[in-house]
């Protein structure tokens, strides 16, 4: 049982859907245990009763929020003192209060899954850009209502349009390459300007320039306290008339009510959304607007990508238990 010795437990929060063999093989570094809780109250109760004592690592999925709720300070402090690692199976880890994990004594080291999500998420991004520019949602809707072409406003070509990418991480950079194949000119804004090599020659602009010059604005930045509602009423006012807005990041990086207003006024021509502020609740102003193309958080919803993500997250646990270091710690804890 590796260097961790007898008694090391690994807790699964959520489900392994694809990489079951890889998960089962982890039993050579620890005992694999599950939760019996079905909601936060039960989970907290079990933690306080010592049910998870000896758990050294947790593997969690996006949907395990339905069991534990947010991994906030209250929950972090209720988790067993044996816990050292939390491997999140996803790129975005906004559900986890990393600061509380770092501050706990002993700290909990957190990892996410970068890279493996990039291709599939950027593919959905392209689907939404094309769908929103071309008004495919309106067309598909009319067809099902028995009205053929001619009922839907004429769309726009991607070729020659300026795509502004807000957040030039792995997904943003992947999207850049794909969008160029459709003839789009890519500009970006990011906390830090990237090297020429990393940005692939995309032009770096200020946040305000990005808002003012994009024909299509794509949101590809993580959600945190600095990015919540980074796109709101004032930002829509700075955009071009008839802009297209696309979001595959997290719903709350944009003020959804402000988007609905901007769509209703015609400021925004159309939108393509994979993520929503209060998932799975969708703002009725989006639901009822056939100009917007809506997808239920399907960015990484492919067998291949989900398998890679699960294997990656499991590898984080294996590596942590075998070497004392996670494979892909979250950036906030990179120096720990």
Give the active site residues. Answer: 250, 279, 297
Residue among 137 and 300 whose Cβ is closer to ligand O=CC(=O)O:
300
Is 164 a binding residue for ligand O=CC(=O)O by CB under 6 A? The answer is no
Neighbours of 177 (CB within 10 A): 12
Q: What is the DSSP string of 2-51?
A: GGG-TT-EEEEES--SS-HHHHHHGGGTSEEEE---SSHHHHHHHHHTTT
Cβ atoms of residues 222 and 92 within 8 Å: yes
47/116 with CB nearer ligand O=CC(=O)O: 116
Structure tokens at 187: 């500009």
**How far apart (Å, rounded) are the C-alpha atoms in residues 271 and 159?**
18
Q: State the binding string over 103-142 for ligand O=CC(=O)O (x if CB under 6 A, else -).
A: --------------x-------------------------
Q: Is 56 in the site for ligand O=CC(=O)O (CB under 6 A)?
A: no
Count of residues engaged in binding ligand O=CC(=O)O, rule: CB under 6 A: 6
Near ligand O=CC(=O)O by CB under 6 A, which window of 89-97, 101-109, 211-219, 230-238? 89-97
Give me the residue label for tokens 């998870």: 52
**Given the complex with ligand O=CC(=O)O, which of 91 and 252 has the nearer CB atom?**
91
Does residue 165 bind ligand O=CC(=O)O (CB under 6 A)? Answer: no
Least separation in angstroms between residue 88's CB and ligand O=CC(=O)O is 8
Q: For residues 129 and 218, is the Cβ–Cβ distance under 8 A?
A: yes
> CB of 114 within 8 A of CB of 87?
no
Closer CB to ligand O=CC(=O)O, 247 or 270, in the complex: 247
The rounded radius of gyration (Å) of the Cα atoms in the chain is: 22
Cβ of residue 5: shortest distance to ligand O=CC(=O)O, in angstroms? 33
Contact 191, 138 (CB under 8 A): no
Residue 174 makes contact with ligand O=CC(=O)O by CB under 6 A: no
User: How far apart are CB 94 and ligand O=CC(=O)O at their closest, in Å?
Assistant: 8
Residues 277 to 316: which contact ligand O=CC(=O)O by CB under 6 A?
299-300
14 binds ligand O=CC(=O)O (CB under 6 A): no
Cα distances (angstroms) measured from residue 112 to each of 134, 223, 238, 296: 35, 14, 34, 21
Q: Nearer Cβ to ligand O=CC(=O)O, position 98 or 239?
A: 98
The secondary element (H helix, E strand) that includes residue 128 is helix 118-134
Report if residue 92 touches ligand O=CC(=O)O, rule: CB under 6 A: yes
Position among 30, 90, 131, 251 found at the interface with ligand O=CC(=O)O (CB under 6 A): 90
CA dihedral (117, 302, 65, 77) in degrees, to 10, reads -40
Contact residue for ligand O=CC(=O)O among 91, 219, 244, 258 (CB under 6 A):
91
Three-state DSSP state, 58:
strand
Q: Is residue 335 reached through a cis peptide bond, with omega within 30 degrees of 0 on the bond before it? A: no
Q: Given the rule CB under 6 A, which of 17-25, 84-92, 129-137, 322-330 is the region that contacts ligand O=CC(=O)O?
A: 84-92
- Which of 239, 307, 272 is CA-nearest to residue 16? 307
Q: How far apart are CA 164 and CA 220, in angstroms?
A: 10
Which CB atom, from 13 or from 243, has the smaller least distance to ligand O=CC(=O)O? 13
Cβ proximity to ligand O=CC(=O)O, 92 vs 131, nearer residue: 92
Considering only CA atoms, which of 109, 27, 120 is closest in space to residue 307?
120
Q: Which residues bind ligand O=CC(=O)O (CB under 6 A)?
A: 90-92, 117, 299-300
């Amino acid at each position: 049982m590796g260097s961790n010795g007898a008694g090391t437990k690994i807790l699964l929060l959520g489900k392994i859907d694809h990489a079951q063999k890889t998960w089962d093989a982890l039993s050579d570094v620890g005992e694999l245990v599950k939760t019996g809780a079905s909601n936060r109250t039960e989970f907290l109760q079990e933690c306080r009763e010592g049910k998870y004592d000896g758990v050294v690592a947790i593997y969690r999925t996006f949907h395990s929020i339905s069991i534990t709720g947010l991994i906030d300070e209250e929950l972090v402090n209720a988790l067993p003192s044996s816990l050292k690692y939390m491997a999140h199976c996803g790129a975005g880890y906004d559900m986890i209060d990393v600061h509380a994990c770092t501050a706990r004594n002993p700290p909990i080291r957190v990892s996410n899954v970068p890279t493996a999500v990039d291709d599939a998420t950027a593919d959905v991004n392209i689907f939404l850009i094309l769908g929103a520019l071309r008004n495919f949602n309106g067309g598909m809707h009319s067809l099902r209502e028995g009205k053929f072409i001619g009922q839907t406003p004429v769309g726009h070509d991607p070729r020659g349009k300026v795509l502004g990418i807000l957040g030039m991480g792995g997904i943003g950079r992947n999207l850049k390459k794909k969008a160029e194949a459709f003839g789009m000119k890519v500009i970006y804004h990011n906390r830090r300007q990237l090297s020429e090599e990393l940005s692939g020659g995309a032009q770096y602009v200020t946040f305000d320039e990005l808002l003012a010059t994009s024909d299509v604005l794509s949101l590809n930045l993580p959600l945190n306290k600095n990015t919540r509602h980074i796109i709101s009423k004032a930002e829509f006012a700075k955009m071009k008339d008839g802009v297209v807005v696309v979001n595959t990041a997290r719903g709350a990086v944009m003020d959804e009510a402000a988007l609905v207003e901007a769509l209703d006024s015609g400021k925004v021509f159309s939108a393509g959304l994979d993520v929503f502020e209060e998932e799975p609740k969708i703002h009725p102003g989006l639901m009822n607007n056939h100009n917007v193309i809506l997808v239920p958080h399907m960015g990484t919803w492919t067998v291949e990508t989900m398998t890679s993500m699960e294997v990656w997250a499991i590898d984080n646990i294996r590596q942590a238990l075998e070497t004392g270091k996670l494979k892909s710690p979250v950036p906030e804890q990179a120096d720990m």
